[in-house]
C-alpha cells in the first residue's frame, strides 16, 4: 500500500520524537518516499542528521536555511505529498492545526497540504484529558484529519494513562489499513495468470513461447494497488511483483489449469493474460532424446482450454477477462473468442502493431466488451496499459 507513496512526516517537540527514527525506517522499508519536517523543539529530542540518514532526504526545519540559502517551499511540499503524518503530534501543534496558526514550516505545510493528514498525539495524561485538547481533536476531525489514538501506558512524567504515542509499527499498520479500506477493490479477490507454459518433450527440452509475463505481472500489481487481494498464477518467468500478491508458480498448461480451477470459484475478477500452450506432446521421453536421425517428429495433442473452462464455471457475479494475441483477422477472432468463451472483456493484441507483443515493455491494445463495443488505445508502457484494463474492469463493477 505504501510503495512509491510520497509521505511527509512531521515531528514535534516530545520525548516520543525518538520513535520517529523507527517510523521513518519502517516507512522506507515499506517502499515509501519520506521527507521529514522537524519543529524547533523536536530538534532538541532527535537530530536532523539521524532522520536525514534514515529517510535518504534532507530534513526540513525552517522556511529559510541561512547557511545554504535554500528556501523550503511549503506549498511545493504540501502538493508533493500523498499522505502527511504528524507523529508525535504535540498539544501545541494540534492547537495550531485546529486554529489555523502558521508560525513554523510544519504548520505552513499542513495548511498547504491537499492530501489526507494523519496525526498521532503524544502528551501527558492531564494535557490529553484537558477540555481544550479534546475540543481541538473534535475540530481536527471535522476538518477531515485522522487521529491515530494514543496508547494507555507509562508516561514520561511517571503517570500512567492515555497520552503515550502509538508505536511506529501501529502507525504504519493504521495507515496501511486506512488506505486499503478506501481503495475501490478493497477486499476483492482477484485471480491473474501470467507468463508462458512449458510443455516437456524430454527432461531437457520443451515446447514453449516467447511470453515474458510482463503484462500479467503489471496487471497483478495494479490490481493490488487498487486494494485487491491478488492471486497470481505464473508460468516460468524472471518477472517479480512489486506489490504484495500471492504467487503460485506452475510450468505446464495442465498445472495452470488445476491451479485456476482451484482458485477461480472464490474470486470476483479473473484476468487470463498467460500465454498457455495450445498443444502438448502425447509422449514425454524419460531420457534425453539423442540426435540419431535426420528427421524427428513429435506427436501433439490439444491442451484443455483454460479460458473456456472458466467461462463455463463463471457466475453472473464474476468478471472474466481474456486476451487474444492475433496475426490476422484480429478483431473477428477476438470477438469470436469473447462470445464463445463467455467473457466480459477481451483484450486484443496484434503482432502487426509496432510496440506490441512478447518481451516488450510496451503494448498496444484494443478492448471489446460484451456488447462488442471497442476501445482502441495508443502504444503505452505495460504499466499504463494495465491501468487502462483495470479502469475498464472497474466500469463493469460499477455498472
Which residues define the annotated binding site for CTP? 278, 288, 323, 337, 341
CB atoms within 10 A of CB 215: 29
* Sign of the dihedral defined by the CA atoms of residues 177, 183, 184, 188, in that order: negative
Specify burial of residue 130 (Cβ count, 10 A radius: 0-12, 13-18, 19+).
middle
Sequence ranges of the binding site = 278, 288, 323, 337, 341
**Spatial contact of 295 and 315, defined as CB atoms under 8 Å apart:** no
Is beta strand 269-272 parallel, antiparallel or unpaired with respect to 189-194?
A: parallel
- Does the CA dihedral 90-92-97-103 come out positive or negative? negative
Q: Which three cell numbers stand for residue 317?
A: 457475479
What's the rounded Cα separation, in Å, for the pair 334 and 324?
A: 6
Residues 85/10, Cβ–Cβ less than 8 Å: yes
Identify the helix (H) or strand (E) that includes residue 122: none
Grid coordinates representing 16?
516520543
| Catalytically annotated residue among 57, 73, 209, 263 | 209
CA dihedral in degrees (79, 82, 87, 90; nearest 10)? 40
Q: Do 367 and 385 form a contact (C-beta atoms < 8 A)?
A: no
Answer yes or no: 209 catalytic.
yes
CA atoms within 13 A on the CB side of 240: 1
Q: Where are the alpha helices (DSSP H) in 10-162?
A: 19-29, 48-55, 74-80, 91-99, 105-112, 125-129, 131-142
Judged by DSSP in three states, 235 sits in coil
Q: Rounded to whole angstroms, how far apart are CA atoms 350 and 96?
A: 59
C-alpha grid cell, residue 176: 496501511
Pairing of strands 189-194, 229-234: parallel
DSSP annotation of 290 reads P
Kindly state the cell numbers that stand for 134: 479534546
Q: CA angle at residue 74 from 11 to 104, to 5 degrees?
A: 50
Distance CA 229, CA 205 (A): 35
Name the residue with cell 482458485: 263
Catalytically annotated residues: 209
Amino acid at each position: 500500500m505504501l510503495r512509491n507513496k510520497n509521505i511527509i512526516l512531521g515531528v514535534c517537540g516530545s520525548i516520543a520524537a525518538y520513535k520517529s527514527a523507527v517510523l521513518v525506517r519502517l516507512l522506507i522499508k515499506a517502499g515509501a518516499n519520506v521527507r521529514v519536517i522537524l519543529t524547533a523543539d523536536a530538534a532538541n529530542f532527535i537530530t536532523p542528521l539521524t532522520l536525514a540518514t534514515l529517510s535518504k532526504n534532507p530534513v526540513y526545519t525552517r522556511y529559510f536555511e541561512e547557511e545554504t540559502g535554500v528556501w523550503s517551499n511549503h506549498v511545493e511540499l504540501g502538493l508533493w505529498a500523498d499522505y502527511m503524518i504528524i507523529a508525535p503530534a504535540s498539544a501545541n501543534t494540534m492547537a495550531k492545526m485546529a486554529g489555523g496558526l502558521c508560525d513554523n514550516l510544519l504548520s505552513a505545510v499542513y495548511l498547504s497540504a491537499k492530501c489526507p493528514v494523519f496525526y498521532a498525539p503524544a502528551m501527558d495524561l492531564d494535557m490529553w484529558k484537558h477540555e481544550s485538547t479534546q475540543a481541538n481533536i473534535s475540530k481536527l476531525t471535522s476538518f477531515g484529519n485522522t487521529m491515530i489514538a494514543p496508547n494507555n501506558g507509562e508516561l514520561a512524567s511517571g503517570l500512567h494513562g492515555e497520552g503515550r504515542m502509538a508505536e511506529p509499527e501501529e502507525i504504519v499498520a493504521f495507515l496501511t489499513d486506512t488506505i486499503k479500506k478506501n481503495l475501490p477493490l478493497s477486499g476483492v479477490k482477484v485471480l491473474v495468470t501470467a507468463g508462458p507454459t512449458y510443455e516437456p518433450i524430454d527432461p531437457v527440452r520443451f515446447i514453449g513461447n516467447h511470453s515474458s509475463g510482463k503484462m500479467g505481472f503489471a496487471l497483478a500489481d495494479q490490481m493490488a494497488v487498487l486494494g485487491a487481494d491478488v492471486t497470481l498464477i505464473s508460468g516460468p518467468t524472471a518477472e517479480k511483483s512489486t506489490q504484495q500478491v500471492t504467487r503460485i508458480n506452475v510450468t505446464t498448461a495442465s498445472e495452470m489449469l488445476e491451479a485456476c480451477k482451484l482458485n477461480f470459484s472464490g474470486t470476483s475478477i479473473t484476468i487470463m493474460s498467460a500465454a498457455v500452450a495450445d498443444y502438448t506432446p502425447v509422449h514425454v521421453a524419460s531420457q534425453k532424446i539423442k540426435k540419431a536421425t535426420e528427421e524427428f517428429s513429435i506427436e501433439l495433442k490439444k491442451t484443455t482450454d483454460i479460458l473456456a473452462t472458466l467461462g463455463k464455471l463463471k457466475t453472473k457475479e464474476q468478471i472474466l477477462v481474456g486476451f487474444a494475441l492475433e496475426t490476422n483477422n484480429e478483431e473477428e477472432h477476438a470477438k469470436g473468442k469473447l462470445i464463445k468463451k463467455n467473457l466480459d472483456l477481451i483484450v486484443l493484441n496484434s503482432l502487426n502493431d509496432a510496440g506490441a507483443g512478447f518481451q516488450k515493455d510496451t503494448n498496444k491494445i484494443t478492448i471489446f466488451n460484451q456488447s462488442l463495443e471497442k476501445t482502441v488505445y495508443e502504444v503505452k508502457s505495460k504499466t499504463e496499459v494495465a491501468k487502462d484494463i483495470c479502469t475498464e474492469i472497474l466500469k463493469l463493477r460499477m455498472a
